[in-house]
Amino acid sequence: MPANKNLLLLPGDGIGPEVMYEVQRIIDWMDRKRQVTFDLTEDLVGGACIDARGVSITPATVARAKLADAVLFGSVGGPQWDKLGFDSRPEISILTLRRELGLFANLRPAIVLDPLVDASTLKAEVVRGLDIMIVRESTGGIYFGEPRGVTSLPDGRRRGVNTEVYDTDEIERVARVAFDLARKRQGRVCSVEKANVMESGLLWRETVAALHMREYSDVALSNMYADNCAMQLVRNPRQFDVIVTTNLFGDLLSDLASMLTGSLGMLPSATLGAPDASGRRHALYEPIHGSAPDIAGKGIANPLGQLLSFAMLLRYSFDMDEDAGMIERACTNVLASGLRTADVMAPGCAKVGTHVMGEAVLRELDKLNA
């Protein structure tokens, strides 16, 4: 009998707990209908953890995350914690998890589902069928580089410093993830940096090119400066298949790409560590949307980003492609049937809240599983 799958659920703040609840109903459904049992542990992160324990994540929670087969994260932050010192913000919890678990490859798909093609602010003919995967490096670069900090200068001015640093092994391992993904997709990788102004960008470009030549010459590799990439994403987004880039550029470009879809509330993400000898890797899954404090507690948040993050978890952490595909299809079918949460509402559709949307996905799963 195979061991149960251990999941750590970290709902966090704002709409996080509301959308996580809909995932738990899917997990119950899988237990009853698909005979897949998960051992669930739930814990506090972000502002909720600051209120209860004084820090945004405790070492015990980090330890639990390391033991889990996968972590499903909600979202953190909110105005009531904005006044806290820089090192005490709710956001520290996600950065801590990325660093402590070595989650260096952040996979951020931007997909336009057919029923939502008109939700984009771009013309439908520009985004129809869009399917981009941004692979963002997520444990290095300027987010973690030293030196950093704010110092006082002798003449009374102050200086803020952050440092972009990349070593060749950090570049190679994330590029490898991008090339491997491209092999299962359209076979194209675009590597993005600012090699025209940053030495670290030049090293990035050279390292990716060398790896490509050594091991991945079957994949088509192109390079782009980050500013041009931002422009090209808006001009003609379908030219891209897989984009691989640094932590900071990936942060910016993935927000941009997610808005091409017009439905931030729908997009999942995965952040993966390096596989060990047995193939097991740390992994964390979270929707791209934030904690959305303005709509928290109203029952109107779109749960599909969190549900699709769970589908990604099934696919990447447990190789459960069939179950993942079923959840993805159920979400698409529900949208095609005309149900919409407020964020993706369109003329002629029926506006529903979080729970009705979750319920509709469950009913659709029942049909697909029949």
For the annotated catalytic residues, the residue numbers are: 143, 194, 227, 251, 255
Site for ligand IPM contains 91 (CB under 6 A): yes
Binding of ligand IPM at residue 13 (CB under 6 A)?
Answer: no
Residues that bind ligand IPM (rule: CB under 6 A) add up to a total of 4
> Considering beta carbons, is residue 95 or 220 the nearer one to Mg ion?
95
Nearest partner of 198 among 164, 174, 246, 231, judged by Cα = 164
Q: How far is CA 54 from CA 43, 76, 88, 248, 263, in A?
A: 14, 15, 9, 28, 34
99-119 burial, b at 16+ Cβ within 10 Å, e below that, comes to bbbbbbbbbbbbbbbebbbeb
Give the residue at shortest CB distance from Mg ion.
251
With CB atoms as reference, the residue minimizing the distance to ligand IPM is: 91
* 22 interface partner picked from ligand IPM, Mg ion, none, CB below 5 to 8 A per type: none
Residue 67 burial (CB count, 10 A):
9
Contact 284, 65 (CB under 8 A): yes
Minimum distance of ligand IPM from residue 272's CB (angstroms): 14
What's the min distance (Å) between Cβ of 91 and ligand IPM? 4
Q: Tell me how far, at minimum, the Cβ of 94 lies from ligand IPM, in Å.
A: 6
Residue 351 CA to residue 300 CA, distance in Å, equals 9
Residues 93-122 that bind ligand IPM (CB under 6 A): 94-95
Stretch that binds ligand IPM, among 88-96, 165-173, 193-201, 238-246 (CB under 6 A): 88-96
Q: Name which of residues 240 to 279 contact ligand IPM (CB under 6 A).
A: 251
Contact positions vs Mg ion (CB under 5 A) = 251
The minimum distance between CB 108 and ligand IPM, in angstroms, equals 8
Please, which residue, 288 or 331, has the CB nearer to ligand IPM? Answer: 288
**Shortest Cβ 3–ligand IPM spacing (Å):** 31
Q: Please, which residues have CB within 8 angstroms of residue 229's CB and are 6 or more apart in sequence?
A: 190, 192, 243, 245, 249, 253
Q: Residues 330, 331, 337, CA angle at the centre, nearest 5°?
A: 85
Pick between residue 189 and residue 270 the one whose CB is nearest to ligand IPM: 270
Could you give the maximum distance between any two Cα atoms of the chain, in Å? 74
Taking each continuous run of H as one helix and of E as one strand, the counts in the chain are 12, 14
Residue 366 CB partners (closer than 8 Å, separation 6+): 33
Where does this chain bind ligand IPM (CB under 6 A)?
91, 94-95, 251
